[in-house]
Chain A
Amino acid sequence: MNFDNYMKIKFSSKSQNESFARVVVASFVSQLDPTIEELADIKTAVSEAVTNAIIHGYENSSEEVVIECKIIGNTIIIVIEDSGNGIKDIELARQPLYTSKPELERSGMGFTVMETFMDEVYIESEEGKGTKIQMTKKIKVVQNGE
């Protein structure tokens, strides 16, 4: 697929890197002149996916999370990938309020947040192999004089 711009980062699955990841993606997206709200939506969705990779994918063992971003026209495509546990039942994981770790005081709203704040969310996962989340969002173009 052709794209107008591209970046890829790889970092340790440490919770300190949750804020690093969302800030890097936000900086990359800023070339599309998103509104503050669009930027907050993207940062939040990235934070959810990276947190899932750390808590569920790797269960806090230190491995690598990979983020790739592509810009095509006014659309940002964000892929967040781990090589961890994988998701047993994707449909169940997508349910609002479902959490596989209730003992951690997690709300189970991660995928709901991603789906609400992004235009499209695809999940690919295989047990024992890992999880790949692809999210897209079209940044609205503000016309001059508006």
Chain B
Amino acid sequence: MRLKFEVMDNILVVYLDGELDHHSAEEVREDIDNNIDSRNIRNLIFELSNMNFMDSSGIGVVIGRYKKIDKSGGKVGVVNSNPHVDRIFQMAGIYKIIHKYKTKDEALANIQRGE
């Protein structure tokens, strides 16, 4: 799993490239949390175009980051999830708490407007 980070204002965009399972989850979790804490981040966007595998470990990672961001009143978004990832997220009811956007720009614009 390769992680890439971009920061715009107080929004952290994290690109998850590769496979998210129990093995990679711990590192992913730590890396994202370190970035949130050290860069004054309020909102988070998961960019998933290049995530080619995810099991239920991904649900834990996303919900865990949601809880952290939600505590300080921020928003979490998901961009470019493939149909397989969508099915797993829907199964767990993730889209009831986290908004899904078609593009990164749409996500950034909505989150910047505070929606």
Contact = CB atoms under 8 A, between A and B. Distances in A.
Contacts of A47: 21-22, 53, 55
Interface in A40-55: 40-41, 43-44, 47-48, 51, 54-55
A19 interface: yes
Interface in B85-109: 87-88, 91-92
Interface in B21-80: 21-23, 25, 29, 53-57, 59-61, 63-64
A97 B54 CA distance: 17
Nearest to B92: A109
A105 B60 contact: yes
Contacts of B21: 15, 18-19, 47, 51
Contacts of B55: 44, 47-48, 51, 113
Contacts of B2: none
A57 interface: no
Nearest to A109: B56
A89 interface: no
Contact of A109 (B25, B29, B59): B59
A19 B74 CA distance: 33
B4 interface: no
A107 B87 CA distance: 15
A109 B22 contact: no
A58 to B, nearest CB: 13
A105 B32 CA distance: 14
Contacts of B92: 97, 107, 109
In the complex, the 6 A-B pairs of residues with the closest C-beta atoms, listed nearest first: A107-B59, A15-B23, A109-B56, A47-B55, A51-B22, A105-B60
Interface of B: 19, 21-23, 25, 29, 53-57, 59-61, 63-64, 83-84, 87-88, 91-92
Given A40-B53, A105-B61, A107-B63, 9 more contacts: A15-B23, A19-B21, A19-B23, A44-B55, A44-B84, A48-B56, A104-B60, A112-B56, A116-B91
